[in-house]
Amino acid sequence: MQTYSIALIPGDGIGVDVIDAAWEILNSVAETSGFALKGTEFPWSCAFYKETGRMMPEDGIETLRGFDAILLGAVGWPKEVPDAVSLHGLLLPIRKAFVQYANIRPHRLLPGVQGPLKAEAFDILCIRENTEGEYSGAGGRVHQGMDNEVAVETSIFTRAGVERIIRFGFEQAKARRGKLASVTKSNAQKYSMVFWDEITQKLAREYPEVEVTSYHVDALAARMVMAPESLDVIVASNLFGDILTDLGAAIQGGLGFAASANINPDRAAPSMFEPVHGSAPDIAGKGIANPMATIWSGAMMLEHLGETQAARRIMEALAITTGKGIGTTPGKDTTATITSAVKNALTTL
């Protein structure tokens, strides 16, 4: 039997609850689908940082390299560890070291989920550049704490990095409804964003079947609210993609439904799957975190591993669950209730 080795990093806060839930569902579907999952849990988190001074051990990346995939919960516990330390100590190094340059985030309404918009149906796939741009980590501060203090943070856009993510966007659009929205702010940012637009135009010549439109990020944000059904695939830089996908989460009913996959398209290193949401300290430990985003991310992991049928079954089980009104209202159902409803739904498929 095919066995996949999965690194589990629950992380902080509700990350622990949602990983437990997703792992239960993933194993349940594996049992009836003819493959097995072997999980190895790593306690890397802000608590680990408090104990060791690091978010993960020095050889953390090398440890993860041998796995087929990584399933991550949430990172961040700002009361005790600054967010910039936790993010740059765990999540971002994994994305960069494993060249997980495509962060894929689907936005659509599951049955029975009432989003805040009038639109009843939309199906958007946001592709966020995941290794460079505004998150490159290049910069510094001088004269710290003094009146003449200066802080510089440089966005880095490389031709290789921009080309590969826009090409990935074109490929996704070609495989879906043939529409690509390329996002910049090239009126204001006249170097990096004009560069992005030029590369979009150059690649468009290779994809005559894809209708590509360049949007400024502000206009695209408005379009996501006013006419989400008009959008198919969105490709955006690291920061713009991050912001737009929180908006995407909002229009699909909340962060409890927003899944994501950090993909190494060349499969030269493991890819990582995680909900878009963070550790939610306000509800941590209350047992009311919605595990659906993580379960959906787990389905994306199975899809990536080639277990397409099992991934489809999970998505159908989620749809049955939300169709019954379970997990659709924040705080109404417990994590355990939602998980067992999804598990029961799986048995009916």
Q: Which residues bind ligand GGG (CB under 6 A)?
A: 72, 74-76, 87, 91, 242, 274-275, 277-279
Backbone angles phi, psi at 143, to 5 degrees: 55, 45
Give the nearest distance from C-beta 260 to ligand GGG in angstroms.
Answer: 7
What are 281's two structure tokens?
Answer: 């300290």
What are 346's two structure tokens?
Answer: 């799986």
Closer by beta carbon to ligand GGG, 203 or else 289: 289
Closer by beta carbon to ligand GGG, 39 or else 323: 39
- Assess contact for 187 and 216: CB atoms under 8 A: yes
Give the nearest distance from C-beta 143 to ligand GGG in angstroms.
Answer: 29
Closer by beta carbon to ligand GGG, 277 or else 304: 277
First to last CA, the chain: 22
Give the nearest distance from C-beta 200 to ligand GGG in angstroms.
Answer: 23
- Assess contact for 125 and 106: CB atoms under 8 A: yes
- Assess contact for 274 and 18: CB atoms under 8 A: no
Closer by beta carbon to ligand GGG, 242 or else 307: 242
Closer by beta carbon to ligand GGG, 71 or else 212: 71
**How far is residue 279's CA from residue 289's CA, in Å, rounded to a whole number?**
10
Give the nearest distance from C-beta 142 to ligand GGG in angstroms.
Answer: 26
Q: At what angle do helices 335-347 and 292-304 cross, to 10 degrees?
A: 40
Give the nearest distance from C-beta 35 to ligand GGG in angstroms.
Answer: 25
Give the angle 269-273-276 at the CA atoms, nearest 5°. 135
Give the nearest distance from C-beta 74 to ligand GGG in angstroms.
Answer: 4
**How far is residue 177's CA from residue 121's CA, in Å, rounded to a whole number?**
15
Closer by beta carbon to ligand GGG, 100 or else 192: 100
